[in-house]
Structure 1
Amino acid sequence: MRYEAIDSGLFINNRKRLITLLKPKSMAIVLSNDVIPSNADGTLGFRQNNDFFYLTGIDQEESILVLFPDFPDENFREILLIRETSDHIRIWEGEKLSKVQAANISGITKVLWVNSFESILRKFIFEAEQVYLNLNEHDGGDWSFQTRERRFINDFKQKFPLHKTERLAPLMRQLRVIKQPLEISLIQKAIEISKKGFYRMAKFLKSGVFEYELEAELTHEFLMNRSRGHAFHPILASGASACVLHYVTNNNICNDGEVILMDFGAEYANYNADITRCLPVNGRFSKRQKEVYQAVLRIMKIARNMIVAGNTMDKLRKDIGKVVESELIGLGLLSKTEVERQDPDAPLYRKYFPHGISHHLGLDVHDVGSRYETFKQGMIFTCEPGIYIPEEKIGIRLENDILITKKGNIDLMENIPIEIEEIEDLMNS
């Protein structure tokens, strides 16, 4: 792979922790993702199923993991099935992983070719009292799309209608939400690459530059540092476009006097960074731009200190809502009287700050984890307040990634410029 080899101990430990959560005499089946078609004979490329990667480290299509910790023959309690290289594949796509390579990556000794899956399933299925099957249960996911997992679940239930199935996703969420030390280091690597991209864009930005040129600079820096590219489609929104939360066309010109909102992040070894910075196109913020920027920065610093063990997302959102209200009153966007008379179920600040303050981060940019659970040591969250004023063509959002530890939290992006003086010095040095 493009990224450096990952210690197989991470995946071995992840499987061990999963096994402790399975019911007795259970089998778990986890599939890799599809290669998604585009048009004609083209594809959109391949991105591994994050649960599959978490358990195996295998970054290849047409792969299957079978776990059956109570199977009578101990040699078959962990099986990895991978795609065999044929002469056709070798000519058109190149070599796929060998069994030895797959074993070294995953730490699984029993590696078979994927075309033997049916015979393996027949060997196992009638010894299992229940079978754990996986599905994307993220509340923001597209459940209408027929993924490989959905197709397999439908086929499995048709073939084995009397077998009891269990949901694997809640167990994977329980595991993945707490980041292991090696995972944290991979996220820090993605952050470091993102920092390099930010510096490159800051040096390149000037009046007359197109947003897509900044995207090109960012992409170049990512690829030069062993990233496969963007963690998500980057937002490079100048002027009024910064008030569009998911503006991703990046087609407009950056004009003198505007502020450009940059929401981006590098992917590294399937792990992600998520950062937002705002830069003045001409290198200096106007008085009003500074006022809004400082308001957002004050909100961010308060919110960052609230992302600690024992807090909850709902409490964080409500507490920060009060801070946002105060800042909007200070900016002249709301009046104290209006706020006092508002419907508490429809707070007025949402007009200028319509999105959430934070989300889990990891293998997914909006990573698995319940918005209702208590914050715990080892979780990583974003902290991303914003104020958007379409009538003034100003949109400011700032975002850092925060790790919760036993002694408090650590801002993983504290060394990336964010203060107004730092931003202006960077752009004018």
Structure 2
Amino acid sequence: MRYSPIDSQLFIDNRKNLKAHLPAKSMVIMQANDVLPTNADGTMAFKQNSDFFYLTGVDQEESTLLLFPDHPDKNYREVLFLRETNETIAVWEGDKLSKVQGTKVSGIERIHWTHEFERVFREMIYEADTVYFNSNEHTRNDSLTQSRDARFIERFRQDYPLHKLARIAPIMHRLREVKHEIEIELMRQACGITAQGFARLLKFVKAGVYEYEIEAELLHEFVRSRSRGFAYQPIIASGANACVLHYIQNNQACQPGDVLLLDVAAEYANYNSDLSRSIPVSGRFTQRQRSVYDAVLRVFYASRDMLVSGNTWDSYHREVGRLMESELKGLGLLSDHDITNQNPELPAYKKYFPHGTSHFLGLDVHDVGSKYHPFEPGMVFTCEPGIYIREEGLGIRLENNILITADGPVDLMENIPIEADEIETLMNER
């Protein structure tokens, strides 16, 4: 892996927290992700299953974790299965984790090769009353691809039809929404790499530069800082493209006088950051652009201040909506008539601010977590208000990553320029 070794105490603590939520005689089965095909003999870059990584730190395919906290034999309470390497694999793919390395990464003492799975599994399974399986229960998931976990569940139902099956996802979601200190530090590193990329492009962007050239500058900076690259498909949207919320073509030339909307951020050690900025292609905002920018910035600061322990998802977003409504009225985009006659289920401000203000952030960019839980210390959210005026070809979004603490919100991106004057100054220093 490119990233520096992670303290295995993170994964030891994560497993300990999971075990505390399991009833007696429970077994957890967790699989690594598949290596997915492209065409011919090609494969996509490997991305580890987030829950599996959270519990093991193992960033390798064909791996399986078995947890059985109260198995009568202590050797079967934590078992990790790894793909055994050989000379051919070493030549064509490089070395895989040894058993010693697997223990060092995960803190799990009992390591077996994957070809030993059936024998070890049968030694364990008949002592279990309930077997917990993993599945992708993210509210935004609509993938049609069958996962390695799903294939194993099908096989298990055939081979062990009398066991009670249970879902581990609700427990994992609750655990992952509150971050460990080590996780927070890894996310700080991702934010730091993102800051370096943004500083680089402020001196690069100018009229005539193509959006994909900006993407290349960012990727260069991210990779040279030990990141795998972008945390998500980058959005580099100049002019009217900024009004397309998930614009990813990144193939247009930046025109003089346009605003460039950037939704670009780095990952580090599988942990993600998520940044949005809007900058003037020519180095100076027009008066109208600046008015819209400052309106979004005021909503950003007020929204960030509401990300505090004890607040709730619905009340937070209702208040952000009221703030945005006021700003849009001040910009002449909404009238008193629009507001008085709006549909409560589809407020008038949604015409210009159609997306949510925040989402959980962590091992996944849209990380797992429940909007029904009050905010609490250790949660990390994005804060990303925006205004999109299609008839003017102008879109502004500003986004930072916010850690909730007992003493109030901590902005993990506070060192990344966000004030319009500072951005203009930096762009004109080159």
Partner amino acid for 1:269? Answer: A
CA shift at 1:90, angstroms?
1.5
Which has the higher mean CA deviation after the structures are superposed, 240-249 or 116-125? 116-125
Q: Which residue of 2 aligns with 1:399?
A: 399
Instruction: Encode CA deviations 1:22-73: one digit per residue, 9 max, x unaligned.
Output: 1100110100000010011101120000100010000000000000111111
1:341 pairs with 2:341: yes
Partner amino acid for 1:403? Answer: L
Partner amino acid for 2:420? Answer: I
- TM-score when normalising by structure 1: 0.99
Q: CA RMSD in A?
A: 0.8
Q: Which residue of 1 aligns with 2:247?
A: 247
Secondary structure of the residue that 1:355 maps to in structure 2? Answer: coil
Instruction: Encode CA deviations 1:122-163: one digit per residue, 9 max, x unaligned.
Output: 111111001010001100012432111111111111211111
CA shift at 1:92, angstroms?
1.0
Q: Which residue of 2 aligns with 1:321?
A: 321
Q: Which residue of 2 aligns with 1:178?
A: 178
Secondary structure of the residue that 1:81 maps to in structure 2? Answer: strand
Secondary structure of the residue that 1:37 maps to in structure 2? Answer: coil
Q: Residues of 1 paired with 2:221 and 2:371: CA distance?
A: 34
- TM-score when normalising by structure 2: 0.99
Partner amino acid for 1:399? Answer: E
Runs of 4 or more consecutive aligned structure 1 residues displaced over 6 Å after TM superposition:
none
Q: Residues of 1 paired with 2:132 and 2:223: CA distance?
A: 37
Q: Residues of 2 paired with 1:313 and 1:248: CA distance?
A: 29
CA shift at 1:181, angstroms?
0.6
Contact 2:174 2:370 (8 Å CA) reproduced: no
Q: Residues of 2 paired with 1:225 and 1:388: CA distance?
A: 33
Q: Which residue of 1 aligns with 2:165?
A: 165
Instruction: Encode CA deviations 1:211-266: one digit per residue, 9 max, x unaligned.
Output: 00000000000000000111001100000000000001100000100000000110
1:121 pairs with 2:121: yes
Q: Residues of 2 paired with 1:152 and 1:203: CA distance?
A: 51
Partner amino acid for 1:248? Answer: I
Q: Residues of 1 paired with 2:338 and 2:66: CA distance?
A: 59
Q: Which residue of 2 aligns with 1:138?
A: 138
1:307 pairs with 2:346: no
Q: Residues of 2 paired with 1:253 and 1:152: CA distance?
A: 48
Written as runs of structure 1 = structure 2, the 5 A alignment for 1:354-369 is: 354-369=354-369
Written as runs of structure 1 = structure 2, the 5 A alignment for 1:151-230 is: 151-230=151-230
CA shift at 1:121, angstroms?
1.4
Give the paired residue count. Answer: 429
Q: Which residue of 2 aligns with 1:14?
A: 14
Partner amino acid for 1:196? Answer: Q
Q: Which residue of 1 aligns with 2:31?
A: 31
Q: Residues of 1 paired with 2:149 and 2:259: CA distance?
A: 43
Partner amino acid for 1:303? Answer: S
Structure 2 unmatched ranges of 5 or more: none
Contact 2:237 2:261 (8 Å CA) reproduced: yes
Secondary structure of the residue that 2:237 maps to in structure 1? Answer: strand
Secondary structure of the residue that 2:299 maps to in structure 1? Answer: helix
1:55 pairs with 2:60: no
Q: Residues of 2 paired with 1:96 and 1:30: CA distance?
A: 19
Partner amino acid for 1:383? Answer: C
